[in-house]
Structure 1
Amino acid sequence: MKFFTRMFLCLNMFGLLFVGTASSVLAAEEVTGIAKLGFSLPGLITQIINFAILLVVLRIFLWKPFLKIIDERNKKIKLGLEAAEQASLQASESQSESKKILDDAKKEASQFVNDAREMADKLKIELEEKAKKDAEIILQKAKKDIERDKEQALAVIRKNFAEITISAAEKVIDKSLDQKTHQDLIDGILNDYEFEKE
Structure 2
Amino acid sequence: MNLNATLFVQCLVFFGLAWFTMRFVWPPISKVLDERSERISRGLADAEAASVELSDARETARDQIGQAKLAAREITRQAEMQASDILVRAQEEASAIVARAQNLADQAAVQAKRKAKEELMKDFSSLVFDATKAVLLREVDIDVHRDILDQMIYRDKFDEK
TM-score (norm 1): 0.41
TM-score (norm 2): 0.49
Which structure has more relative contact order (CA 8 Å, sep 6+)? It is 1
